[in-house]
Amino acid sequence: MMKVIVIGAGHAGVAFADAMRRNGFAGELTMIDRLAGLPLERPPLSKAFLLAEDGEESSFALRASGWFADRQITLVTGRGVAGLDAGTRQVTLDDGGTLSYDRLVLATGATPRQLANTADMDGVFVLRDPDDARRLRTAARAARSALVIGGGYIGLEVAASLTKAGKMVTVIEAAPRLLARVASPPVSAFFATRHGDAGVDIITGAAMSEIRHDNGGFVGATLEDGRQIDADMLVVGIGVAPNTDLAAQADLAIANGIVTDGTMRTSRPDIYAIGDGAFDGSGAYGLRIESVHNAQEQAERAAASITGNDVPRRQVPWFWSDQYDVKLQSAGVLPANNTDLHHVQRAGRREGGFSVWSFADDDLVAVEAIGDPAAYVLGKTCLESGRAPRPVQLADAGFDLKSFVADKPVA
Ligand code: FAD
């Protein structure tokens, strides 16, 4: 009987196990995760989970407790995989135990980057897994103020949650605008205003001089221009590095992540990589993407490939973020160096809602919708079909976008 081992029971790993059984895989399926307990969702960790009471965690489970046993999935938690021998097809657990596989899936995610010299400082937090969120939540209860370094989605979501909990929050971002790597300038400007209205002090273009501590406990930061920000705790949200240690042990190709083809197969045909740690080098969206949708979509592709089924076509990537009462939904990918893009803003039907349509030359590359789910759906359809309105049409408030999309369905 074929044995498949999945390392990592996060969004990608669990979606993969689910897809394997749906694809008719009847062999042995084992999932291993170093975190103890039932696997939990990640997006709430910067949102509802941070504001939840300690005992209220079951609603954040990725799957209910009986789900794994019902599908004959062996879930080994609280055990890390320390070694991978691709020659003998064996993994070694951190308690010394070994398991053999016919196919291996690396769904090991990513690790938050730390700020230099803060690793041993009390009162400094990163946020990736439920244990990080529990620590942050406990500290936040006792704190009056927080400094968030990094104005990306996670930093801003934490800022919104802590502000909702009554804390004084400052966000420092090195780039000239918030969300510079991942959002269009109008969306960055919207969130800067929304956070400012909520009382968050946003400092962009900020160069850090020193993280200050007293007896090893964080007390504040000093910027290069001399500004001092005192706070009771520090949240570092400056991005993640893909987990590639096991891939390196197996001599797999590694770029900004574990390199795969479009079926999520690595440079060894019996090892696959999916989720935040994978770098899908094929096709139009050949990048490493950090989102739940990407993890699920790659899981479907890997499962179809391993079971010999048709590998689903790649989808347009999508993402969401919740901050205060605002929902952002985005489809497509804004190139990291997105200064050459042309953006068209369009008012939505709901009060305050709008969408931003980003073009590289005449090609629509991304649609971001704030409080405008209809625009998100229409924009995603345009991206999927490759048929989009021209910028001048979108800029016209009277242009009937819905009819444009509906009248001429995708070939
Ligand atoms: P993970 O979910 O991180 O799972 C990887 C698992 O591998 C972990 O459980 C880890 O313990 C395990 N592991 C790693 N190495 C080993 C080892 N050697 N042995 C055993 N186990 C190992 N995305 C959105 O689309 N929308 C959002 O609003 C959103 N919000 C987010 C908020 C936060 C706070 C975070 C952290 C992420 C958010 N994301 C969001 C991103 C999304 O959660 C990730 O893209 C997704 O979790 C990636 O899934 P993954 O399985 O690759 O990684």
State how beta strands 168-172 and 145-149 pair. Answer: parallel
pTM score of the predicted model: 0.95
**CA-wise closest residue to 236 among 165, 328, 142, 132:** 132
Contacts of 36 by beta carbon, 8 Å cutoff, 6+ apart? 77, 78
Ligand 1 proximity of 257 Cβ (cutoff 6 Å): no
What residue owns the CA closest to ligand 1's atom 38? Answer: 43
Tell me which long-range contacts 138-141 makes (C-beta under 8 A, separation of at least 24): 139/233, 140/50, 140/165, 140/167, 140/233
- Pairwise CA distance, residues 167 & 176, whole Å: 25
What residue owns the CA closest to ligand 1's atom 4? Answer: 10
- Pairwise CA distance, residues 316 & 191, whole Å: 24
Q: What is the mean pLDDT of each run of 10 residues along the chain (411 residues)?
A: 97 98 98 97 96 85 95 98 98 97 98 91 97 96 97 97 97 96 95 98 94 96 96 97 98 96 97 97 78 97 98 93 96 82 93 94 94 96 93 92 77 39
Secondary structure, 3-state, 250-298: CCCCEECEEEECCCCECCCCCEEECHHHEEECCCCCCCCCCCHHHHHHH
Query: Could you give phi then psi for residue 394, rounded to 5 degrees?
Result: -65, -35
Q: For residue 321, what pLDDT is reported?
A: 96
Distance 381 CA to ligand 1 centre (A): 27
State how beta strands 73-77 and 28-33 pair. Answer: parallel
Q: Give the three-state DSSP class for 326.
A: strand
Distance, CA of 313 to chain centre: 21
Q: Determine the atom of ligand 1 nearest the C-alpha atom of 158.
A: 34
Distance 345 CA to ligand 1 centre (A): 32
Decide if 147 contacts 229 (C-beta within 8 A). Answer: yes
Ligand 1 proximity of 150 Cβ (cutoff 6 Å): no
Q: For residue 72, what pLDDT is reported?
A: 98
Q: Give the three-state DSSP class for 76.
A: strand
Label residues 173-210 b or e (16+ Cβ within 10 Å = b). Answer: beeebbbbebbbbbbbebbbebbeeeebebbbebeeee
What residue owns the CA closest to ligand 1's atom 12? Answer: 8
